[in-house]
Chain A
Amino acid sequence: MSRYTPEEKVKIARDPGRPGTSDFIAALFIDFFEQRGDRLCGEDPSILGGIARFHGRPVTVIGHRKGKDLEENLRCNFGMPSPEGYRKAQRLMRQAEKFGRPVITFVDTPGAYPGKEAEERGQGEAIAQTLALMSALEVPTIAIVTGEGGSGGALALAVANRVLMLEHAVYSVLSPEGFASILWKDASRAGEACGVMKLTAQDLRRGGIVQGVLREPEEGAHTNWEAAFRTVDAALTHELAALDKLKGPALARQRYEMFRAMGQGLPPAGREEP
């Protein structure tokens, strides 16, 4: 299954040719109505969200948006959200809960934006509130890490009943570059960091961090979007059907217990479970 090294996977996960949130929305949903703004002070295009139909059923869909060309990249801040983005996500999630809609999120971000205004407006608070809100939602939630899942900025959209990853996506506590520069004071050792961080979908599945790995076409999702869409569509259909068996409070409980167990009962140091 792992034809690529962790370092190669990081490159693939960041490939601008991979389908992004807007592509998944266009392909898998109909009737998408984009919702904008946090109702407090701004609109952050680096998080895209709204209401849509998934196989006829209204759902709330939210994801990171990196942009397709340089102009859009800049507008979307390369998928690095500001507090407004997270507060918009919170607003959409509350509404989803109010109207009993499942929440589907697409995770693809280098991380939350480390900028001056973002700090001024409470980046930490915005992420914290999103985590808390998402953890307690009484509707089914599914997160799919489609590209790079970077740090708290990614996690904020991924406290879901099911967290799935595309086969070559990565998900980590920090970018390998940041990791290497913090631990070894040397960002050029990022390649080495990829090796020790256990950031591939396969490693995370083994570690109990994600609940499913979605097969990508031959060389990766960027070479055959249609195949990637079919896989994600099937996975969402399957997981939604499974989650529909749980009632509101049971959904919140299942999610709580799942995240509660992460880091508890880990395989003993120095050994890795197959």
Chain B
Amino acid sequence: MNQTFSRRRDRLLTYQAMREGKITSSRRTRCSACGEESPQLEWDRNFQVCPRCGFHAPVGAYYRLSNILDPGSFQELEDKLSPADPLAFPGYPAKLSELEQSTGLKDAAVAALGRVDGHKAVFAVLDSRFLMGSMGTAVGEKITRAAEYAGKKKLPLVIFSASGGARMQEGIFSLMQMAKTAAAVQRFQSGGGLYISCFTHPTTGGVTASFASLGDIMLSEPGALIGFAGPRVIEQTIKEQLPEGFQRAEYLLDHGFLDRIVLRNEWRAVLSQLLALHEKGGRP
């Protein structure tokens, strides 16, 4: 037990140091894309982008927000929202509390009010460390409340997606979150709100097929896998190998589904530009 606490404490301190940019670990981390090792320090300075190949490694929701928002502007929304177990699925509650312990997250989404270069907006970020960022009822509810809150406050909405899709353990209730979130962002947008959807690696299934594909502006980090069906399912279905780069952000850009690819260190500048162009959330 003591060990768990000290490990948790270590991690929290490490996160704090990472946020403040003063990590001096001698640890080396291997890139899951190119297989090369680089000092953790270099990864940290590079916002967790591989210093060798430029692979944009998945990052946690709080970390992402801390790199995008103006210092001190982060105000978490709906942080009490907890997951449910609508199917009474065997082993699911235990899995949820285990993940809460290891990630510090209640579920796979974080919503916040924040500013980028002084421009106020509502943010929602999916975190792939929590069951692949899958959308269960709590994630669907958080996205929906973020959209409704943004609508009520007449603020722009920025969502960063990273998700394996629907949360199997919540079955049909998970599927319904697609309808719910799509309806919520649709309602927000038809009320004049600006919605910027940002894909990160990987985003597939029910998240791609709902709110994530509905942005007024569609952005993605480079190399992100974006699709409805996952590559393995497609290969099994069509019984052939998919070409290199299939379903990657660059491919989607070429096929007309994205406005732009944004490097991780460019998010602040790009969001700031877009928010300024839509001052007052897109209203005249």
Interface residues of A (CB under 8 A from B): 112-116, 118-125, 127-129, 131-133, 135-136, 151-152, 155-156, 158-159, 171-174, 178-179, 182-183, 196-199, 204, 207, 209, 255-256, 259-260, 262-264, 266-267, 269-272
Contact partners of A172 in chain B: CB under 8 A: 171-172, 175
From B177, B209, B229, B234, give the contact of A263 (CB < 8 A).
B177
Contact partners of B187 in chain A: CB under 8 A: 135-136, 256
Chain B binding surface, main DSSP class: helix
Contact A263 B206 (CB under 8 A): no
CB distance from B140 to the nearest CB of A (A): 6
Contact partners of A267 in chain B: CB under 8 A: 86
A204 to B224, CA, bound (A): 35
Pull 18 A–B residue pairs with CB atoms less than 8 Å apart, ordered by A.
Answer: A113-B237, A115-B238, A116-B234, A119-B229, A121-B255, A123-B227, A124-B213, A128-B213, A136-B183, A136-B187, A152-B205, A172-B172, A182-B168, A196-B171, A204-B172, A259-B176, A263-B137, A271-B88
Contact residues, B145-169 vs A (CB, 8 A): 166, 168-169
From B87, B179, B212, give the contact of A198 (CB < 8 A).
B87
Query: B246 near A: Cβ within 8 Å?
Result: yes
From A122, A135, A271, give the contact of B182 (CB < 8 A).
A135
A209 to B228, CA, bound (A): 23
Query: B190 near A: Cβ within 8 Å?
Result: yes
CB distance from A226 to the nearest CB of B (A): 30
A129 to B87, CA, bound (A): 28
| Contact flags B176-194 to A (C-beta < 8 A → 1, else 0) | 1111101111110010000
A199 to B214, CA, bound (A): 28
Contact partners of B227 in chain A: CB under 8 A: 119, 123-124
From B84, B233, B257, give the contact of A266 (CB < 8 A).
B84
Contact partners of B256 in chain A: CB under 8 A: 122
Contact B172 A197 (CB under 8 A): yes
A220 to B211, CA, bound (A): 37
A132 to B140, CA, bound (A): 15
Contact partners of B180 in chain A: CB under 8 A: 259-260, 262-263
Report if A199-B172 is in contact (Cβ < 8 Å); known contacts: A115-B238, A132-B185, A269-B93. yes
The interface on chain B, measured as residues whose beta carbon lies within 8 A of the other chain's beta carbons, has a size of 57
Contact partners of A259 in chain B: CB under 8 A: 176, 179-180, 183
A264 to B169, CA, bound (A): 16
CB distance from B91 to the nearest CB of A (A): 10
Query: B242 near A: Cβ within 8 Å?
Result: yes
Report if A114-B175 is in contact (Cβ < 8 Å); known contacts: A266-B84, A267-B86. no
Interface residues of B (CB under 8 A from A): 84-90, 93, 136-137, 140-141, 144, 166, 168-180, 182-187, 190, 205-206, 208-214, 226-229, 233-234, 237-238, 242, 246-247, 255-257
Contact partners of A122 in chain B: CB under 8 A: 213, 255-257
Report if A199-B137 is in contact (Cβ < 8 Å); known contacts: A120-B255, A125-B257, A131-B210. no
Contact A159 B85 (CB under 8 A): no
CB distance from B99 to the nearest CB of A (A): 16
CB distance from A15 to the nearest CB of B (A): 21
Report if A174-B210 is in contact (Cβ < 8 Å); known contacts: A115-B237, A260-B183. no
Contact partners of A113 in chain B: CB under 8 A: 237
Contact B228 A183 (CB under 8 A): no
Contact B214 A128 (CB under 8 A): yes
Contact A124 B214 (CB under 8 A): no
Contact A197 B87 (CB under 8 A): yes
Contact A262 B176 (CB under 8 A): yes
Contact A159 B179 (CB under 8 A): yes
A112 to B226, CA, bound (A): 16
